[in-house]
Structure 1
């Protein structure tokens, strides 16, 4: 369906691809992986026809439709979310638009003299609309939006009033409703909660077209793809299987290449030693010359590329008292909507609570109440003795000074820390080399979130309250964070839609449902085993 033949591409001074080739065949579901800046988005844009390769060819079979979801969703306003999604539904949306124009024309008294022609055309267009199953389009659009977490009110409201994250969902819904022959999805899991993520997983499993996607959520990718395409050093390499299998195969290939490199280096050293030893002796001239020629003809084995593995040892947190937070008879409402009524909850030292619940259940509200960012209407929230709290939420980014560089901000927070330690910390969270000289005002939302997280964990509190901490982290940084927090000896309360993160770090689950609040001993893995569901209200 789609072929890339010997493509080369350079962005400014960066060489992205060098004579790279790949193919995407009918029905294949492939994951595209590679470090940040490797060229994943560039590859998508070339396949979608938005930019050409410098050399080589991108071929798409005749008649193949492509739907491309990117992080740049563009402007949306003036229409409902449902109408915006339907606008991208391929040929049927064009027919629907003409049908609306003709309906407006039929109601226009100034066009009475054209009415016969308008009515005749309306009949033709309506027949075509029925043929394309257009009258079911609204229902299908709403089904997709509901799967992505929209309420009926949000579906019918002005899309322009939605936040950036919800607009992303609308843009994704447009591609899903279109059901093209090929979907290109660039980080579709970024702005979804766990329930929407699981719904999307099911949708993509049932999709019979070809799929090429990136995602920093390894569990999500593992359940959908049957092939991995890796961008590394300008080339494209395919691995059959999911992301977990790709990691094993890549590690094995690197081990084999390292062994091959070492064997050749030993052989070369031996040959060079012989040449150096006997090059001055006439009696060995023929042998020396023969070995020199042999060395000239040898194809040199390159050592495997060393991948940057990020790791950082956080300082031990000071010990808190046994009772970290106690909530007693807490009530909380927003307007006429009751979030909590008579909530009692106690968090004890070294417990790691994963908070789960559908949209609007009150997950973020609970974290705000405990962190002191919101007040209960009645009842008490008591923080225990010697508790030093760190609260990570989206508004936490407001602590950044736009005029400071990344390094200046870290230095200002930790004036006693060594420069090397701060640079290592920045590197762990994706700011390597000259990146630390970027001013905070030019950072993206994701970069700001990573910087705040780095600042919070360098001198760790003994109680972490984290609202979606992994949202803008790539797989390597996420793994570093999981490993660091696994060794953390404090108490944690967190919300996350990343199942790998949930399973690795939780030892308690608090489930918020319309029927009440349920606490489970054991972590997320035990919760799934006991309830038969991966998220509240969803059967696995």
Structure 2
């Protein structure tokens, strides 16, 4: 239904696509993968017609509807979340808006003189709303918003009052409600908590249209897609299977290509050695000439493209005491909202606690209390002997000095470090070559997160407190971070919605629920096996 045929596309000096071809068939669910900057968003924009290819053609079958969710949601304001979501399903949203306005007018004493006309118009509009199946559409809109974590109050409130992350959810809900023939989803898993992520996973599995999506969440992609298209070096390569299969197949292809390349190089070396040895002898002239011609005709095997993966290795952290942090009788409230009432919690050396709970359960508040970023209303938070803490929070990215370059930010943090070791550190976190000269104000969310992480981990603390450290990170950087943290010998307390990260790094689970706080020995995998649920909000 959607075909890209021999497309070429250049952005500035970068060749994004060179004679690239791919297709999206009805009902297919495809994961789009590739390194940052490879052209994933450009591909979406080519399909929607926002950009045109320099060569080749993009064709969409007649009558096919496309819904495109991108990270750039624009400035939503002035309407309720429900109205914004229903805006995607055609005229019913305008009729719904008029219905709401007429309901407000009927309740307005200043418009009493016009009440007959208002009531008559209300009857007409209500009839039209019912014709368009408006009540069912509104019900579905609320269902989708609830799945993405909205309360009734948020659904009916002005969307302009929501944070950027919640506005993203409104834009995503609009596409989901549309149920177009094909959905293009660019990072739909960003900004979602674990419960919403799992709900979206179920929704997309049950969606019968075609799906093309990118995601930095490996578990999420693995459970939805049945095919992977990789963008690399201007080409599009399709792999039939889920993300796990793609990784295995890619590694196998690389191994085979490397073996072919090495065999050919050995053969070429042998032929060249023969030519060099006998080229001056008249008795071997015919043989030499024959081998020269043979070499000219051989199609050269390229070595496999090496993905740039740099491993970060921790310096050994100084040892802390056995009691790392202790919370006793902690009370915390925000206004009338009680977060904790008499919380007791202790973290001991080498424990790796992941904190789980629905939105508003107090996950970030717990981390802030431990890090000293907020104080308890009652009770005590005691940090143990010789504990050196590193605290990663989302607001840490806002504290970067926009005018400093990446390299200067690292130099400011570690004035005693040599240039070589700081460049190596920057390289580990994805800043190679000229990228270390970028000013902090132009960095993307992912780049800022990587820079803050680099600053925190270079001179490692022995206690890491991490609030959603994988937000904005691509799969390759996440893998590097997981590998590094798996070797880390200190203590950890963290919140994450990435199930791969949770399973790989936790050895304890603290679950925050309205009924109270539950601690589980064993990590996230054991927690799932014991409770039968992947997140607390999914309990029946």
Is the structural similarity TM-score above 0.5? yes
Q: Distance in 2 between matches of 1:447 and 1:373?
A: 24
Residues 1:393 and 2:393 are matched in the alignment: yes
Determine if the alignment matches structure 1 residue 157 to structure 2 residue 170. Answer: no
Q: Taking structure 1 as reference, are residues 260 and 445 closer, same or farther at Cα in structure 2, changes over 3 Å only?
A: closer
1:142 correspondence with 2:142? yes
Match of 2:479 in 1: 479
Distance 1:314-1:273 versus aligned 2 partners, 3 A rule: same
- The alignment of Structure 1 onto Structure 2 pairs a total of residues equal to 532
Q: Post-superposition shift, 1:291?
A: 1.2
- CA–CA distance in structure 2, aligned partners of residues 458 and 105 of structure 1: 62
Instruction: Report the Cα distance in structure 1 between the residues aligned to 2:398 and 2:445, rounded to whole angstroms.
Output: 11
| 8 A Cα contact 1:89 1:177, kept in partner | yes
**What is the deviation of 1:449?**
2.1
> CA shift at 1:427, angstroms?
2.1
**Aligned residue number for residue 86 of structure 1:** 86
How far apart, CA to CA, are the structure 1 residues paired with 2:72 and 2:519?
A: 39
Q: Distance in 1 between matches of 2:377 and 2:196?
A: 31
The answer for the alignment partner of 1:346 in structure 2 is 346
Tell me the SS of whatever aligns to 2:534.
Answer: coil
Q: CA deviation at 1:102?
A: 10
Cα deviations by residue, 1:415-468 (Å, 9 ceiling, x for unpaired): 222222212222222222111111112223332222111100111101111000
Give 2:15's aligned residue.
15
Aligned CA distance change for structure 1 residues 103 and 389 (closer, same or farther; 3 Å)? closer
Kindly tell me: are residues 370 and 132 of structure 1, through their superposed partners in 2, closer, same or farther at Cα, counting changes over 3 Å? Answer: same
Alpha carbons of structure 1 residues 395 and 26: separation in structure 2 relative to 1, 3 Å: same
Q: Deviations over 1:3-59 (max 9, x none)?
A: 000000000000000000000000000000000000000000111111111111000
- 1:1-150 mapped onto 2 (5 Å cutoff): 1-90=1-90, 92-93=92-93, 129-150=129-150
Between the aligned partners of 2:287 and 2:302, the Cα distance in structure 1 is 27
Taking a change above 3 Å as real, the CA distance of residues 23 and 102 of structure 1, as seen in their structure-2 partners, is farther
Query: Within 2, Cα distance between the matches of 1:468 and 1:428?
Result: 20
Separation of aligned partners in 2, 1:366 and 1:199: 25
Q: Which moved more, 1:94-103 or 1:523-532?
A: 94-103
TM-score (norm 1): 0.94
Instruction: Give distance in 2, aligned partners of 1:224 and 1:502.
Output: 20
Equivalences for 1:127-206 in 2 at 5 Å?
129-206=129-206
1:443-458 equivalences in 2 (<5 Å) = 443-458=443-458
Query: Aligned partners of 1:147, 1:462: CA distance in 2, in Å?
Result: 38
The match for 1:508 is 508
- Contact 1:102/1:122 (8 A) holds in 2: no
Using the alignment, how far apart are the partners of 2:213 and 2:416 within structure 1? 44
Match of 1:468 in 2: 468
Task: Tell me the secondary structure at the aligned position of residue 88 of structure 1.
Answer: helix
In the aligned structure 2, how far is the partner of 1:131 from the partner of 1:53?
A: 42
Q: How far 1:103 sits from its partner (Å)?
A: 9.7
Secondary structure of the corresponding residue to residue 144 of structure 2:
helix
Q: TM-score, normalised by structure 2?
A: 0.94
Question: How far apart, in 2, do the equivalents of 1:91 and 1:3 lie?
Answer: 30
3-state secondary structure, aligned to 2:89 = coil
Tell me what 1:219 maps to. 219
Question: Using the alignment, how far apart are the partners of 2:100 and 2:378 within structure 1?
Answer: 52
> In 2, are the aligned partners of 1:321 and 1:349 still within 8 Å (CA)?
yes
Could you tell which deviates more after superposition, 46-55 or 92-101? 92-101
Deviating beyond 6 angstroms after TM superposition, the runs of 4 or more aligned structure 1 residues are 97-107, 125-128
> What CA distance in whole angstroms lies between the structure 2 residues aligned with 1:102 and 1:55?
52
- Looking at structure 2, the residues matched to 3 and 97 of structure 1 have their Cα atoms a distance apart, in angstroms, of 38
Aligned residue for 1:537, secondary structure, equals helix
Question: Does structure 1 retain, via aligned residues, the 8 Å contact 2:82–2:156?
Answer: yes
Mapped to 1, the partners of 2:346 and 2:450 lie a distance apart of 30
Give the superposition deviation at 1:94: 5.9
Contact 2:449 2:473 in 1 (8 A): no
Structure 2: stretches of 5+ with no match in the other structure: none
The answer to whether the 8 A contact 1:310-1:476 is kept is: no
The CA deviation string for residues 174-225 of structure 1, in whole angstroms up to 9 with x for no partner, is 1111111100000011100101100100110110100000001000000000
Rounded Cα–Cα distance in structure 1 between residues aligned with 2:539 and 2:267: 59
The residue aligned with 1:242 is 242
Q: Is the 8 A contact 1:99 1:122 kept in 2?
A: no
Deviations 1:357-416 (A, max 9, x none): 000000001001111011101000010000011111012224322221110110111122
Contact 2:401–2:441, Cα closer than 8 Å, also in 1: yes
> What are the superposed Cα offsets for residues 252-282 of structure 1, whole Å, 9 maximum, x if unpaired?
0011111111111111111111111111222
CA contact (8 A) 1:400 1:440 kept: yes
Counterpart position of 1:378: 378
Q: Any unmatched runs of 5+ in structure 1?
A: none
Name the residue aligned to 2:538: 538
Distance change >3 Å, CA 284–CA 98, structure 1 → 2: farther
Structure 1 CA distance for aligned equivalents of residues 171 and 66 of structure 2: 14
Change (3 A) 1:424 1:132: farther
Instruction: Supply the RMSD in Å over aligned alpha carbons.
Output: 2.3
| 1:235-384 correspondence runs (5 A) | 235-384=235-384
CA-to-aligned-CA distance 1:38-87 (integer Å, 9 cap, x gap) = 00000001111111111110000111100000010011110111111111
Q: CA–CA distance in 2 between the matches of 1:403 and 1:201?
A: 40
